[in-house]
Chains A and B, each alone.
Chain A
Amino acid sequence: MKTLLIKNAYVIDPIQKISGETMDIAVRDGKIVDDVKNPDQVIDATGMLTLPGGIDSHTHICGTKVNFGRYMSPEDMRAGRTSRKGDMHATSGYSVPTTYGNSYRYSRMGYTTLLEGAMAPMEARHTHEEFRYTPLQDCLANTLFDGNWFALEAIRDGDIKRLAGIIAWYLSAAKGFGVKLTNPGGTEAWGFGDDVTCINEPIPHFGITPRDIIVNMIEANEMLNLPHSVHLHCNNLGKPGNYMCTLDTYNAIPDLNDKRQSLYSTHVQFHSYGGSSWNDFCSKAEDIARSVNDKPQITIDTGQVMFGKTTTMTADGPMEFNLYRLYHNKWSNHDVELETGSGIIPVHYRKKNLVNAIMWSIGLELGLLVDSPWQCILATDNPNGAPFVKYPEVMALLMSKNYRDAEFETLHKSTGKRVILPSLDRELTWDEIVTMTRSAQARALGLIEYGKGHLSEGAEADIALYPINVDTTDPARDYERIINGFSTTEYTIKRGEVVCRNGTCTMESNHSTYWVNPHVPPAYDMGTDAAFIDGFNKYYSMRITNYPVGEEYIGRNVCMESEASL
């Protein structure tokens, strides 16, 4: 029964409204407790900024399309290889690291909980296999429903309760965590090579609109009392002028939950584009931010782009094909029957490329124009915008106008005509940065009551100690120190054990899988629904008995049960 005492920690914990207090933190058996006597280990955290462990609420780290990205990119692999060292296995990869690579690099940055951005339920087993080898973070999986035939049929028939039953069945079967929609309607249209361009346009065959899908899914999700809201990758990602579609989408979102948002809108930078073509492409971050500021029922993450090479990978098959048509890079596609799609293509974001420079600016504008950090989460849609190891640089940019200006000088000279970034003086505070890298995520994902994102008594002892002395650091000027400080913790503690010390990971494994198991009344239990089972066995290429992921795939796990209000 391991006990740990962290002394003299300088704590910022927005969920507890602690804003820079020095205190001791006591840990027993992986949880934070009031006090320990004769602790097994004592850490002197003098001068260290101590935060709850980082939470990434949208990252692509495990599963079929991520692994596609790996094996099709040997040139990415050779760019980031490390040897075995003590308990650390060898790693490879720069923008699509191996699972050990991801886990060690996140751990070094103080991150202890990760939400895989997109998992097709038919391929859930693969995601869970990779979770097992991401050993230092708790993992959760967003489960894709954007093109799910049974769901689309229920929506077409106006049967929301049945829709809820279908979602419940799939989430339990896939051991998933949340409802993910990627280009709703578009991925199904892509099954025959089409896409959707407007949320009010009926999709082929099923006849419903993307708006119908989004709103119905939100209602069904709330009926199931799930911890997280619907998580949406809007239609029209990446297209000039798409901000209108984003605004239309936001205007359709009901406010159905008083503890958190009803819609998590992801990587919004990619959805904030003005202009009508690449020639007059510009930022509409202001309009988007205004809409978000006005709607407490929406939380966004920024989807920041950073310059350099990376690999894009999303369930948005048609969008990835368009990138192929633009850049002629190697392109992979993988449509999943009855469910969704995916595409992968490497990209290179360049400072002197006007479009890329605008994209970079938009991400920062969103971070600065959305008033509340609780509604504006910091992320790069790893690896689509940039590899996650660049988060500290993003933090530094948001905290320092000087740094932003210095970087802006190096961009394409016309960037200033298309964006308003240089005119924004706001510099995010310590509290705000801490909020958008863990507290906001915990709230958005419904994990506060599961002890994540804060350091209260009873919370998970997931703690990150950074070599940053807040009293002697001025983030507006010392941005190098911000970058270095947030890149490598002095200690990363997971479940009360030190798992990373100064960049070296020191434990083989210490994690759990979090998944949901919503209970629905028998009438809506798809497991006994003849129509569902027959359709399943007829149209899938796998038998329904072989579909659900067994407990043997999830090791130590936390099952989040809920009772549906149907």
Chain B
Amino acid sequence: MQEIKDMVCPFCGCLCDDVTLEVENGKILSTDNCCTIGNAKFMGKNRLKNPIKKVDGAWVDITYDEAVNTAVDLLLDADRPLLYGWSGTHGEAQCVGIHMNEILGGVIDSTTSVCHGPSILAIQEVGHPGCTLGQVKNRADLIVYWGCNPIEAHPRHMSRYTTYADGYFLDNAFRNRKVIVVDVRETETAKVADEFIRIKQGGDYAVLSALRAIIRGKGDMIPETVAGVTKTQLMQVADMCKTCSFGALFFGVGLTMAKGKYKNVRNAIELVDELNRHTKFTLTPMRGHWNVYGANEVFSWMTGYPYAVDFCRGVAFYNPGETTAIDILARKECDACMIIGSDPAAHFPRQCVEHLRDTPVIVIDPFQSMTTSFADIQIPVAVTGIDAEGTAYRMDGIPIKVKKAIDSDYPSDTEILTRIYDRMLEVKGL
């Protein structure tokens, strides 16, 4: 039995890198320092044993060679292929995906478009006043969680980076920090807050505006309640923000997916900008998947745009709402799909899933998922962090090497995508 320390958990945007794994005979027996979700990821069973293909309504085992050739044929045949997912794969594989998309003349998009796409759109309008998580850990005496519930979605966030973490500049971190939670209902995180703001659905923009006006000294015209929040509470919160030494605002899909989407995030960013005239304040999106930010980074340095990149015209074109996977699928605007490291059938609206049903779909994933039901072929790969390794980017942009603990016969995402890409080049005579 072998104990491997400082391994990296490939589940959420926290990318905890202090995980201990107990390994024996090429299997992971147990984990330490993981949250329950991370543990479930490491202990996951029932991986697909080999590539499978749908032939006359039944699944047939095929070889990797056959799977690669089928994938190449399906994709090269398409007028507008869509390559979607990517946030569950490592960066080196994402790079191959970009090259592949360039050859194919298709659209490449990641799960950003259903999660923090709005955050990026807002950043593209007003910028991102951010920092790395260690800055928060060492300096922040005020934490704001807006529209997110880390206790359930990012379980170790508070102990590693915020409320309960030891900080260089804070003597008694837990006691010297204040936590404000803003949400439409009282979540588990709200229960541990010093100040809980309960907002009516769709009221985030109005509340953010009210806070901004108060901080600018123009709060006189604000009504007695805004979206269910009293003016008194708004003034109290504005004061807490202005008088802290270092405030850190974290936000999640509660803000990005509320009505107005990216305009909500823009308002939050402009609030933080305003606060920087009074004190130090930063903002960080609570990225969900362990490498969704990595997909944004890779897409940006390779194509210029962070997600939703359309290469049909030979140059990169970017327009969320038009070149995003959900919109393309809903409007039936693609004629072949490759889904990697994601399960759109489980998350996308029905209209999108119907089109998946009617379109050739290649799935690259270690496990069977709901999307498997709509696939023409599925190719299993190694799991990054377990039997494959590669680079990932944490929710604050820090790049971390996700190491592997065991070896297996499965190809990594990079290996299989490279095989598909090389075969495409061969077929096209490039």
Contact = CB atoms under 8 A, between A and B. Distances in A.
Contacts of B245: 192
B314 A333 contact: no
Interface string B146-161: 0000000000000011
A101 B91 CA distance: 20
A541 B246 contact: no
B123 A72 contact: yes
Given A81-B316, A538-B166, A543 B397 contact: no
A122 B398 contact: yes
Interface stretch (A19-27, A84-92, A448-456): A84-92
B303 A123 contact: no
A149 B91 CA distance: 30
Contacts of B91: 129
B108 to A, nearest CB: 12
A81 B91 CA distance: 24
A337 B134 contact: yes
Nearest to B126: A330
Interface string A115-132: 000000011011001100
Given A334-B397, A336-B132, A70 B6 contact: no
Interface in A38-92: 62, 64, 67-68, 70-74, 77-78, 81-84, 89-92
Contacts of B166: 538
Contacts of B132: 122, 334-337, 541
A539 B124 CA distance: 32
Given A77-B304, A83-B315, A98-B302, A543 B297 contact: no
B318 A98 contact: no
A216 interface: no
Contacts of A97: 304
Given A126-B399, A539-B134, A546 B8 contact: yes
Nearest to A127: B399
B127 A72 contact: yes
B400 interface: yes
B164 interface: no
A411 B247 CA distance: 44
B368 interface: no
Interface stretch (B74-82, B188-196, B276-284, B375-383): B276-284
B133 A72 contact: no
B168 interface: yes
B64 interface: no
B391 to A, nearest CB: 6
Contacts of B279: 193
Interface residues of B, number: 60
Contacts of B315: 81-83, 90, 92
A307 interface: no
B95 interface: yes
Contacts of A77: 304-305, 316, 318
B215 to A, nearest CB: 15
Interface in B172-189: none
A321 B246 CA distance: 16
Interface string A96-139: 01111100000000000000000000110110011001000000
A509 interface: no
B133 A99 contact: no
A410 interface: no
B129 interface: yes
A212 to B, nearest CB: 21
A344 interface: yes
Which 10 A-B residue pairings sit nearest by Cβ, starting from the closest? A337-B134, A92-B304, A193-B280, A77-B304, A541-B134, A83-B314, A330-B127, A125-B399, A335-B131, A81-B315
Interface of A: 62, 64, 67-68, 70-74, 77-78, 81-84, 89-93, 97-101, 122-123, 125-126, 129-130, 133, 149, 191-193, 205, 321, 324-325, 329-338, 344-345, 538-543, 545-546, 550
Given A74-B318, A92-B303, A337-B132, 18 more contacts: A71-B124, A77-B316, A83-B315, A90-B303, A92-B316, A98-B300, A99-B301, A123-B398, A123-B399, A149-B168, A191-B280, A332-B127, A333-B127, A335-B282, A337-B133, A337-B138, A344-B127, A543-B17
